[in-house]
């Protein structure tokens, strides 16, 4: 059974940076399309960034220019570099393995435990 393990979260001040990692137990896991989601208290889980099988990234408008998604197939790991963090970025961040359908990312039911990111003002 494939497992996803997120890490790298923490507490930072506004304007700070964090780098999240998503380790996949299956050696070929990062070949699939993948994504980062986040869920703030009292809010629905939202898509933050995607990366295609070939490594092409996509972002929601609120993080464009601040976040960078990447992956290392040899390490079966996906990353999310987060710069210029804002209090509104505070959430639990999750990674997902999914697929693209008609240009839109479709998540699977395979999620990690999440990693908490807290940005203080």
pLDDT in tens, 54-64: 999 999 999 99
pLDDT cut 70: percent of the chain above it: 97
Q: What angle do CA 89, 51, 64 make, to 5 degrees?
A: 40
Residue-level pLDDT at 118:
98
Residue-level pLDDT at 26:
75
Each residue of 26-85: pLDDT tens digit? 766 667 899 999 999 999 999 999 999 999 999 999 999 999 999 998 899 999 999 999
Main-chain dihedrals φ then ψ at residue 82, nearest 5 degrees: -115, 115
Q: Other C-beta atoms within 10 Å of 93: how many? A: 24
Q: Tokens at residue 7, please?
A: 């890490």
Task: Indicate the burial class of 117 (C-beta count within 10 angstroms; 0-12, 13-18, 19 or more).
Answer: buried
Residue-level pLDDT at 2:
85
């Amino acid at each position: 059974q494939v497992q996803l393990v997120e890490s790298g979260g923490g507490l930072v001040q506004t304007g700070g940076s964090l780098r999240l990692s998503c380790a996949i137990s299956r050696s070929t896991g990062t070949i699939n399309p993948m994504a980062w989601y986040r869920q703030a208290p009292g809010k629905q889980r939202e898509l933050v960034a995607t990366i295609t099988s070939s490594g092409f990234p996509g972002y929601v408008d609120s993080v464009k220019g601040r976040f960078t998604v990447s992956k290392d197939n040899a390490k079966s790991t996906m990353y999310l570099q987060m710069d210029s963090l804002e209090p509104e970025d505070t959430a639990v961040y999750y990674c997902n393995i999914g697929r693209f359908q008609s240009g839109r990312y479709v998540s699977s039911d395979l999620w990690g435990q999440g990693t908490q990111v807290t940005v203080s003002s």
